[in-house]
Amino acid sequence: MMKILVFASGRGSNARAIFNAIKDATLSNVEVLALVSDIADAPALKIAEEFGIKAVFIDPLRKGARFTEESEKHYIEFVEQHNPDLIVLAGFMRILPETFVSKFGLKTINLHPSLLPAYKGLDPIKRAFEANEKQSGCSIHWVSNELDGGAIIAQSPVDILSTDTLETLEEKVHKAEHKLMVEVIGNLSKNFS
Ligand code: GAR
């Protein structure tokens, strides 16, 4: 069994895709140890509870994209206590500190809604749409100290049609994300007995 921690800050649709895939045995070799959020009222926490999965808010102790040194320790301690095989950043909107990345980066994957290296950072779908790109999409990559910059594991392109609005494009990208997330986790879980 591959044991995972899921980190999510918001809506949690990718977390839900993972939990559903475990439930219907598409992911038959994966166990979720907990869902962790940096936002106290993140819908993702409720989704985990709905699936009977431990849902934990760990206070980042400050606003913005980073952690305080104290909260950084809480995150590291939590991961060490749970000792996961894989950490999945599924819409986790904070920059992990270097100490975290040096300890766990080799077993942490991040989902990003663009065809990296294009459109790193915030609002990538909107920026690709407004730049009249022909394609958008999503990427899953290993986490490194460069934001959205680690080695790419898999990508899924999504065509931007002249009939697309930002909303229809976002919907298509999210659908592609859910599929890619389950595929990548499934492939990584093959390394575990
Ligand atoms: C997803 O689109 C994910 O790619 C993005 O946040 C969204 C979370 O959606 N992540 C990033 O932008 C990370 N840089 P969800 O909460 O519905 O899974």
Model confidence pLDDT, tens digit, residues 5-33: 999 999 999 999 999 999 999 999 999 99
Rounded to the nearest integer, the mean pLDDT of the chain is: 97
Nearest residue (by CA) to ligand 1, atom 3, is 91
Average confidence (pLDDT) over 53-61: 97
Mutate to test the pocket of ligand 1, among 7, 47, 94, 112 (most ligand atoms within 8 A of CB): 112
Q: What pLDDT, on a 0 to 100 scale, did the predictor assign at position 193?
A: 87
Tokens 């300890």 map to which residue? Answer: 103
Mutate to test the pocket of ligand 1, among 6, 11, 37 (most ligand atoms within 8 A of CB): 11
Please count the other Cβ atoms lying within 10 Å of the Cβ belonging to residue 173. Answer: 22
Contact 17, 94 (CB under 8 A): no
In this structure, the strands spanning 2-7 and 108-112 are: unpaired
Average confidence (pLDDT) over 125-142: 98
Q: What pLDDT, on a 0 to 100 scale, did the predictor assign at position 128?
A: 98
Q: What pLDDT, on a 0 to 100 scale, did the predictor assign at position 156?
A: 98
Tokens 């229809």 map to which residue? Answer: 168
Ligand 1 atom with least separation from CA of 138: 4
Q: What pLDDT, on a 0 to 100 scale, did the predictor assign at position 145?
A: 93
Sign of CA dihedral 42, 46, 51, 54: positive
Query: At a CB cut-off of 8 Å and minimum separation 6, what does 19 contact?
Result: 32, 47, 48, 51, 53
Contact 97 CB / ligand 1 (< 6 Å): no
Q: Where in the sequence numbering do the catalytic residues fall?
A: 112
In this structure, the strands spanning 152-159 and 135-142 are: antiparallel
Q: What is the pLDDT of residues 140-172, one digit of tens each?
A: 999 999 999 999 999 999 999 999 999 999 999
Residue 180's alpha-carbon distances to 28, 59, 108, 113, 129, in angstroms, are 16, 29, 16, 11, 21
Nearest residue (by CA) to ligand 1, atom 6, is 91
Residue (of 65, 127, 70) closest to 99 by Cα position: 70
C-alpha of residue 68 to centroid of ligand 1, in Å:
23
Both tokens of residue 60? Answer: 């980042």
SS (H, E, C) 142-177: ECCCCCCCCCEEEEEEEECCCCCCHHHHHHHHHHHH
Q: What is the pLDDT of residues 104-122, one digit of tens each?
A: 999 999 999 999 999 999 9
Both tokens of residue 83? Answer: 């000792």
Q: What is the CA radius of gyration of the chain?
A: 16
